[in-house]
Structure 1
Amino acid sequence: MTPPSPPHLLHILVFILVISGVSSQQFSASERTTLLNLKQSWGDPPSLANWNSTSSPCNSWPEVQCRNGSVIGLKLDSKLLIGTIPPFICDLSNLENVSLHDNYITGEFPRVFYNCSKLIELDISQNVFVGTLPDDIDRLSQLKTAEFGGNNFTGDIPPAIGNLSALTSLLLYQNLFNGTIPPEIGNLSNLETLGLAYNEFADPEIPSEFQKLNSLRYLWMPATNLVGKIPKSLSNLVNLELLDLSLNFLEGEIPPELFLFQKLDRMFLYKNSLSGRIPSVIQLLNLTQIDISMNNLTGSISDDFGKLQKLEVFNLYSNQFSGQIPASISQIPTLRIFRVFRNNLTGELPEEFGLHSKLESFEVSNNHLTGKLPENLCAGGSLTGVIAFSNNLTGEVPRSLESCDRVTTIQLYDNSFTGEIPSGIWTLLKISSLRLSGNSFSGELPSKVAWNLSRLEISNNKFSGRIPDGISSWVNMNVFKASNNMFSGEIPAEITTLSELTVLYLDGNSLSGELPSEIKSWNSLTTLNLARNKLSGQIPPSLASLQDLLELDLSENQFSGQIPPQLGNLRLTSLNLSSNKLTGRIPSSFDNMAYQNSFLNNPNLCSTSQISNLHNCFPKNSHSKKFSPKIIAMIIILSVFVLLAVVLFALFVFRDYQKKKPKRIRTTWKMTSFHKMDFTEANILSCMTEANVIGTGGAGKVYRIGVGPPRGYVAVKRIWNNKKLDPDQENEFTSEVQILGSIRHSNIVKLLCCLSSQNSKLLVYEYLVHQSLDKWLHGKKRKPEPGLVPGFVLDWPRRLQIAIGAAQGLCYMHHDCSPPIVHRDVKSSNILLDSEFNAKIADFGLAKILEKQKPGEGGMSSIVGSLGYFAPEYAYTTRINERIDVYSFGVVLLELVTGKEANDGDGDSNLAEWSWKHYGEGDSVAGALDPEINGYMEEMSTVFKLGLICTSTLPSSRPSMKDVLEILRRCNPLDELPEEMKQGREEFDVAPLLKRESYITSYQEIDDI
């Protein structure tokens, strides 16, 4: 009998695998339960819909990273998570990596991660955490990556952070830290990335202990209130690739030690067979990007910069550097970005710029540079912009620029260039802005220009010839300024087909003939200046069809005939028809003191009312011959009797009234001026007529009053009551006078003076011709009213210009005034626009100076402001601070990008609530933007998201106006941004403040920050 065989080895193995499989399944089920509970605690977001009880987390959930069947990583960026971090997250016992970037998680710093014993990477950036970082943060002892930026952490950075010896990346940017920078960070010998940007540290200097960070590659500290000098000790950071100390208060010269060769005195080479020269050692050899712009640095630019052979980005703009630009910098083979504008540099530009590297951006404007523009700027084929205006450059424009197919802007105005513009520049493939004014260029205009050229400025040159008929092909032209040249011939009718044209200056030329009788497509024109030419004939009535026209100047020509009465239908803010040969009566709409200087030197014009420099229009008595002398005598005698009777009756009535009425003191006015006056009290009071009313508010009317050259007009706001001012009106008047009378800023409306009497108050402001922003954004949606600007669509560059200007005004009030000033009524109707669409904050009747309050004192007694604009905390607090203005300004930003009004939402929601709902539901940002604006998707999306974060419900989550302004400055396309605002758009990303769907996690892309 054969004994039974032992169990087969294969059966044993199968049994073991089955048992182990059951155990694995039980373990996976436990972790799946934890993950599902996490999903539930974070609001069960739709973005995690694939997390369910039937699928495998390790195989089917892309947000989950596993090893050996266990969860080791969670990547939950931009998943719209809300709530706090639950303590059971560390039930995932093998968790190593957690990324919760860009969500809406709240609470204090999550100490629950102390229980995740294997955690090495933690990213909680771009959330709404509050409070301080804990003093025992070093309990996260194995942490290598700590990304806590973009939150609301306050106070000090704890010194214990220096005990996290394994850290390679520490990002604390864009919080509310206001203490000192702990020198203990210098103990982090493995640290490669340090980001402290956008925190208002208490006047710090860079700690000397940072010189011990020998592994550091990226030092990112813009806008951190740094003071003092750049420390020499940074020369020890030999692995440094990026150095960004921009937007601070650093002063002094750049330490030469940063780039000093250190020759070795002694070297032992025993038993080696090396040949050749022994190399010297240079500090900061690996530096690829340096940004020390927007400080107060002085001295010259060292020639040693040229020894940085890996340097790509060189930003030294907006400082006080002097001397010449070293030729060695132009020879760096990797150089892409070169920006040294707004300094005091002199000498000639090195001729080798662009010859050795693929130069992308070249900006040297606002210096004192001489000589020629380098010939080889575009040799690398990557150049996108040449910006060299406001220097003393000479010579001709290099013909090599004709091959710059990527150039979008060339700005050479206010120099001494000569010669003709190379023909190929007019038709460069991508050029949209060509600004050449203020030189000695000559030649004629081309018939054809680049398809997308939208801005052409050639004023104050020597261009000549006729305006070509082919100008009709300039279909995207928006601004054409050609003043003070030598153009001749007639103005071709084809120019009136340019439907995108908004500004046209042809003044100061030798143009002749009549104006085109038919205006075809000037639907967007707001400014037309043809002054100082030889134009003749009649003013065409078709000009009255330009419903958006605000400024018309036809002065110093030879126009004849009558002024078309149809022009009176336009809402002109500026009109000049002086020095022509016009005849007849001026249109009744212009027959008032507001236009008293519009018709000078036209001897055959007449006025029926107030314009003193014109003779009176006496109607011809064509019917007098029909009456006999006897009838005329009887009429005269009868008229005399009637007049006497009326006078006697009036005297009796007046005498009786005087007996019954107590004696009154004659109305007197007190005038208080805040600026140099070029008009008198009488100028104002004599023109307070209904004909000059341009607006009406709750407190009274606003008048536009002509005061003569050089000012032209002023705006007068009258605050009055039939008997006396009520307390609220008195407070508004006092507040406005107190604040506007003491502050000065180009983006805050000027209060010139105030006049007060017993029952009336007059505030006299500078007059802004384009009136208020809301009329431009929403005017065509409303019922027409006096002074309302027609429904012209503001393009995006203008909208962004307006946002930047308004932000500058508010930033000045919040950060540069001591004590700060809160406006409390920021809205689009209180943002006024001048002739160039520069924004100015107005109406300070509700403004509040933030004096230090005593315990128990409230900031206000009632809710003030305008519906749709005031912050939600008004409902539960009586204290005010700058964040309420930030909220209101956020609503204005949403108006600018969506085209909607502040109360325009769905149902009972306002614009801010509608925008948050739209974004929170995962809808495309593009769907929220104004459909009347084409292009600019990236910039508009950024400003939309900035508007969202400004209108956060939690005040501490809102950025400061300083941060808001900085982001707006970086959003503008290079060719549209005024130079005084330009901050280097290519090196900034709004991710440190805004919640974006993508965020730079690799500092290989640090030039975008």
Structure 2
Amino acid sequence: MTKLRPTSSLQTHLCFLLFLLLLLISHANSQSLQDREQAVLLKLKSYLQSPPFLSHWIPSTSNTSHCSWRPEITCTNNSVTGLSLVNTNITLPVPPFICDLKNLTLIDLSYNYFPGEFPKAFYNCSKLQYLDLSQNYFVGKIPDDIDSLRRLRYLNLARNNFSGDIPVAIGRLQELRNLQLCMNEFNGSVPPEIGNLSNLEDLNLSYNVKLVPWNLLSNFTRLKKLKTLCIRQSYLVGELPGTIGEMEALEELDLAINSLSGTIPSGLFLLENLSIIHLFQNILSGDVPQMVEALNLSAIDLSGNYLTGPIPEDYGKLTKLTVLALSYNDFSGEIPTNIGRLPNLINFKLSNNNLSGTLHPDFGRYSELESFEVSVNRLTGKLPDNLCYWGKLLGLEAYENNLTGELPTSLGNCSSLSTVKVYDNGLSGNIPSGMWTAPNLSSVLMSNNSFTGELPEKMSWNLSRLEIRDNRFSGNIPAGVSSWTNLQVFDAGNNFFNGTVPQELTSLPSLITLYLDQNKLTGFLPTDIISWKTLYTLNFSRNQLYGPIPAKLGLLPGLAALDLSENQLSGQIPAQLGRLKLNNLNLSSNHLSGKIPIEFQNAAYDRSFLDNQGLCATSPSAKLKICNRKSGKISSKYLALILTFGILLSLLALSLSFFMVRAYWKRNRSDSNWKLTRFQRLNFTESKIISGVTENNLVGSGGSGKVYRVPVNRTGDVVAVKKISNDTNLEEKLEKEFLAEVKILSSIRHANIVKLMCCISKDNSKLLVYEYLENRSLDQWLHKRNWPSNLTSSDHHVVLDWPKRLQIAVGAARGLCYMHHYCVPPVVHRDMKSSNILLDSDFNAKIADFGLAKMLVKEGELATMSAVAGTPGYFAPEFGYTRRMNEKIDVYSFGVILLELTTGREAKDEHTNLVEWAWRHFEKRNPLADALDEDIREPCWLDEMCFVFTLAIRCTQRLPCDRPSMMEVVRILNRCGNR
């Protein structure tokens, strides 16, 4: 045994040495791996031209490691496993060496400007599980061999420009849990093989508006682990498959804004885990099946369909239900009483149906209601008294019913309340006093009821709209009205208010509409009214007011409608009123005297001055007695003015000549400091664009620049180039427009918004390069004097028939809807007009010219502009004088475009404003068909054209709050296309 000890000791030493050797080798390999990874990362930094956000990527020392380069780098066991370059303004292609980082499991390159096709360099990342390329500029098809990334669990290609078919290969990514393909330009088909993704939990195919019409594939119902299925606005047609109930894990179903038809299969309501059903704005029909087993449902939204029949009693058994939204259907019968006792109901929306009967008094008693909407039905009885029992109610909308009784007493202690809309009912009694001072209260619309009582001295500071017309309110207009500083609409006509018009009423700086007609007001009109700078409509008619008309009314810049008729006003009509651009003026039935201002002596105001015995006119067209005329001759003062004017004209001509010479010198001086910024993959050079901007290629011009059609290669590819050349007087303005257009267009990606490919700039010139659209702008097709020179009369009639016009309307509406509702922050175009709607070879519409667009700071927040911009004829009334901007100014302008499409008339010519003309036609109840374009007024399209004309009237309402949202416009136009 003693002889063996040395051998045992030797073996021990050998093992120890071997262990040390292995440690050294392992350390060497580890160190070698870290060195290689660091080299790759530094190469990536150099490739990206060492941007500031990577300034902390500094070669590591013995005490540091590249694993500390957070947040871009994530490491596991001292090796890079995650690379995240999110929202870093990268415009270069994905580097081919990216997968030299061999252990990458996560790559996130979202919210950048990466161009080109899907990078096959990723195929070398053999361990990749998470890939996010969303919100970039990738183009072309998704590769047919994408299943090479066999370990992928998360794939997000949303908000790019991928086209063609969605490849079958995606169905072979068996590890996939989350697949996001929304907002691309797929123009092919959706493969049923997606149904083979047995581990898929989240699938989003929304907003792919160019897909070939397709049915919800029955294969999808094999996705047993799917929790979320979103296919909003992606051209779904047909019926829902009956096997949808087999998707046992489904929690959220969103199939909004499609063209589905048929009934809801009963199997849908057997989904025990379903939390949201969202089929908003589809074309569904038939009865809703009973729901017995779906006790785990937490939200149901079937709004905007053609569903019929009664609301099933079994809805009342859904104890987990938080949202029940069935608005804009054709449900009938009574609302099941047990729905009012649901313990978790938060949002209850049944507006625009055919429901009857009473509302159960328990609504709001057992659940923390936030919204209660039952408008436009045939409901009777009282509103439930406990709607704000828990103090959470935000909105009550019950207008256009047959409701009676008083408002719920719980509204008197409802600090959360924002909106009350109960107009056109038979409600009565006093308003709960605490309701007026709810801190969030913004809109109270209760006209055409029988409410009584007086208005309080104090109201919510947030109140912007108060409409109480056609009720039985009485007492004085309180002096405390001066504290209602955010009020924009005050309509208290046809009540029993008495006393004088308080001077405090004139201190409301935001007021747009003021109606106090048909009351018992007395005394003088307020004289200090210059605070009413935003006032558009003023109506004090049918009261007992006396005294003179205040001359300062003529200083109100936005006043367009003035009605002081049927009072006891006296004295002369102030000459200052002639400065106003009044669409409506009525001073009839007063005691006015003297000469009416010359601006009103024309046929448009023939009925504005009736029953005023002391008034006279110098023109017989005014239908009043003729004033005594006095002869005279031109004074020396006027001769001096004429001479001065001539001298000024001469000086102006000299100044213009100087500026024109200087501008010519600036345009022609040599300056080669051009800077190119790419937003897409380009197949042309910078010099090709610059040399192509010549007068021979000029195709149009606008307020901020000229547009050129520039061929860029021998294959016939063409781009549109907008050139903005700075001038001394316009330099700051044009610079702002240029920056606005680049900022917005470089971040927006939608099939109905024109693509900005790149921008080329230097000190005195800016070039924006867009995709070129063959059929130019809509106005050239609608209005004959604007036709392209290569078109004939036959071209016009053959191409732009009503189906084409409706297609254009739908496309433009979708683009605006995306800007308003899906961009963060939302984008307001601010210069929507038919010349800014461009048409491709298939007459698909694309919105262009964002030079005047602005991003809102916060959604729903009004922004004040420094100057009025836009195009006459398309102006929203409030924007022309308040300079306040929100999405509703685009809705108004889009309404004008709809009028152009339906009537064939121009928005504004030397004689007619199209909106005013259309409203006169509409309000006189003339046949709508008489207003339509005779060139395309065929019997088969007549109903659709009248339908869209009526929509245009809604979009051009004077008050922004009365106009629909673009989301609603899209829904209505989609319905029109499926009528």
Fold equivalence (TM over 0.5) = yes
Preserved CA contact (<8 Å) 1:825 1:885: no
1:368 positional shift: 2.8
TM score, norm. by length of structure 1: 0.62
Which residue matches 1:52? 58
**In structure 1, how many angstroms separate the alpha carbons of the residues matched to 2:324 and 2:450?**
31
Give the letter aligned to residue 58 of structure 2.
Answer: N
Give, in angstroms, the shift of residue 515 of structure 1: 1.0
Residue 113 (structure 2) aligned to one of 90, 98, 104: 104
Q: What CA deviation, in whole Å up to 9, does each residue of 1:270-312 have, x standing for no partner?
A: xxxxxxxxxx996555443333333333333333333333333
Partner Cα separation in structure 2 for residue 122 and residue 168 of structure 1: 12
- In 2, the alpha carbon distance for the partners of 1:405 and 1:298 equals 37
Alignment partner of 2:848 out of 865, 887, 896: 887
Question: 2:202 aligned with 1:218, yes or no?
Answer: no
Q: Deviations over 1:770-816 (max 9, x none)?
A: xxxxxxxxxxx99xxxxxxxxxxxxxxxxxxxxxxxx9999xxxxxx
Tell me the equivalent position of 1:981: 965
Q: Distance in 2 between matches of 1:869 and 1:540?
A: 36
Q: Structure 1 unaligned runs (5+)?
A: 263-279, 623-730, 733-780, 783-806, 811-818, 827-840, 854-867, 905-929, 944-974, 986-1009
Q: Which of 514, 529, 546 does residue 536 from structure 1 map onto?
A: 546
Shift of 1:843: 11
Q: For residues 844 and 400 of structure 1, do their structure 2 counterparts lie closer, same or farther at Cα, with a shift above 3 Å needed?
A: farther
| Distance in 1, Cα, partners of 2:849 & 2:55 | 36
Residues 1:383 and 2:393 aligned together:
yes
1:302 — aligned with what? 312
- Give the SS at the match of 2:348: strand
Q: Confirm or deny: 8 A CA contact 1:43 1:83 kept in the other structure.
A: no
Task: Say which SS state the counterpart of residue 298 (structure 1) adopts.
Answer: strand
Q: Partner residue of 1:30?
A: 36
Deviations 1:738-774 (A, max 9, x none): xxxxxxxxxxxxxxxxxxxxxxxxxxxxxxxxxxxxx
Offset at 1:391? 2.4
Return the alpha-carbon distance in structure 2 between the equivalents of residues 152 and 609 of structure 1.
64
The counterpart of 2:195, out of the listed 159, 179, 186, is: 186
In structure 2, what is the Cα distance between the partners aligned to 1:467 and 1:331? 42
Going from structure 1 to structure 2, the CA distance change for 1:604 and 1:979 (only over 3 Å counts) comes to closer
Structure 1: which amino acid aligns with 2:53? S
Q: Distance in 2 between matches of 1:41 and 1:602?
A: 83
CA deviation string 1:463-485 (max 9, x = no partner): 11111122122222221111111
Aligned partner of 1:502 among 476, 488, 512: 512
Distance 1:529 1:411 in 2: 23
1:444 to 437, 442, 454: 454
Secondary structure of the 1:114 match is: helix
Report the AA paired with residue 108 of structure 2.
S
Alignment correspondent of 1:899: 865
The whole-number CA distance in structure 2 between the counterparts of 1:231 and 1:341 is 28
For 1:310 and 1:320, the matched residues in 2 are separated by: 25
CA contact (8 A) 1:474 1:498 kept: yes
* Contact 1:250-1:295 within 8 A present in 2 as well: no
Report the counterpart of residue 568 of structure 2 in structure 1: 558
Q: Matches of residues 247-646 of structure 1 in structure 2 within 5 Å?
A: 247-259=257-269, 283-519=293-529, 521-619=531-629
Whole-angstrom CA distance in 2 between matches of 1:193 and 1:72 = 24
Partner SS state of residue 87, structure 1: coil
Verify the 8 A CA contact 1:238 1:284 in the aligned structure 2.
no
Distance 1:878 1:447 in 2: 56
User: Compared with structure 1, are the counterparts of its residues 609 and 290 closer, same or farther at alpha carbon in structure 2 (3 Å cutoff)?
Assistant: same
Q: Is the contact between residue 343 and residue 367 of structure 1 (CA under 8 Å) also seen in structure 2? A: yes
Q: Aligned to 1:583, what secondary structure does the other structure show?
A: strand
Matched residue, 1:717: none
Match of residue 234, structure 1, among 234, 244, 248: 244
- Are the structure 2 counterparts of residues 577 and 10 from structure 1 closer, same or farther at C-alpha, using a change threshold of 3 Å? farther
Between Structure 1 and Structure 2, how many residues are aligned? 688
Question: What letter matches 2:847 in structure 1?
Answer: V
Distance 2:558 2:402 in 1: 38
1:552–1:572: 8 Å Cα contact kept in structure 2? yes
Amino acid at match of 2:528: E
Aligned partner of residue 528 in structure 2, secondary structure = coil
Where 2:309 maps in the other structure, the secondary structure is: coil
Residue type matched to 1:109 in 2?
F
Hey, what's the Cα distance between the residues in 1 that align with 2:99 and 2:299?
40
Offset of 1:73 from its aligned partner? 1.5
Aligned equivalent of 2:140, options 131, 136, 142: 131
1:458–1:594 distance in 2 versus 1, CA, 3 Å? same
Q: Please tell me whether residue 94 in structure 1 is matched to residue 55 in structure 2.
A: no
- What does residue 89 of structure 2 align with? 80
Deviation at 1:448, TM superposition (A): 0.7
In the superposition, relative to structure 1, how do residues 111 and 295 fare at CA in structure 2: closer, same or farther (>3 Å)?
A: farther
Mean Cα displacement is larger for which, 442-451 or 49-58?
A: 49-58
> Shift of residue 352 of structure 1?
2.6
> CA 1:301/1:51 → structure 2, altered by over 3 Å: closer, same or farther?
farther
Q: CA deviation at 1:17?
A: 5.6
| 8 Å CA contact retained: 2:311, 2:333 | yes
Q: Please tell me whether the aligned partners of residues 530 and 552 of structure 2 are also in contact (alpha carbons under 8 angstroms).
A: no
Conservation of the 8 A alpha-carbon contact between 1:823 and 1:844: no
Q: Which residue does the alignment assign to 2:205?
A: 196
Q: Taking structure 1 as reference, are residues 290 and 281 closer, same or farther at Cα in structure 2, changes over 3 Å only?
A: closer
Distance 2:798 2:124 in 1: 46
CA contact (8 A) 1:515 1:535 kept: yes
- Separation (CA, whole Å) in 1 of partners of 2:847 and 2:551: 47
Aligned residues of 1:42 and 1:84 also touching (Cα < 8 A) = no
Residue identity opposite 1:101 in structure 2? S
How many Å separate the matches in 2 of 1:495 and 1:583? 28
Q: Report the Cα distance in structure 2 between the residues aligned to 1:45 and 1:316, rounded to whole angstroms.
A: 52
**Aligned alpha-carbon RMSD (Å):** 4.4
Cα pair 2:343 2:366 within 8 Å, conserved:
yes
Gaps of 5+ in 2: 1-5, 273-289, 633-699, 702-728, 731-750, 755-772, 801-829, 857-861, 871-879, 892-958, 970-979
SS of 1:616's partner is coil
Encode CA deviations 1:62-111: one digit per residue, 9 max, x unaligned: 12111111111122222222222222111111111222222111211222
- The AA in structure 2 aligned to 1:583 is S
Secondary structure of the 1:350 match is coil
- CA deviation vs aligned residue, 1:818-851 (integer Å, no higher than 9, x gap): x99964569xxxxxxxxxxxxxx99994699697
Alignment correspondent of 1:797? none
* Partner secondary structure for residue 482 of structure 2: helix
Aligned-pair identity in percent equals 46
Q: In 1, Cα distance between the equivalents of 2:478 and 2:100?
A: 77
Q: Distance in 2 between matches of 1:25 and 1:94?
A: 15
Q: Structure 1 counterpart of 2:500, which letter?
A: E
SS of 1:105 mapped into structure 2: coil
Per-residue Cα deviation, 1:229-271 (whole angstroms, up to 9, x for no partner): 3333222222221111221222344333433599xxxxxxxxx
Report the Cα offset of residue 572 of structure 1.
2.7
| C-alpha spacing 1:243/1:355, structure 2 compared with 1 (3 Å) | farther
The yes-or-no answer on 1:71 pairing with 2:32 is no
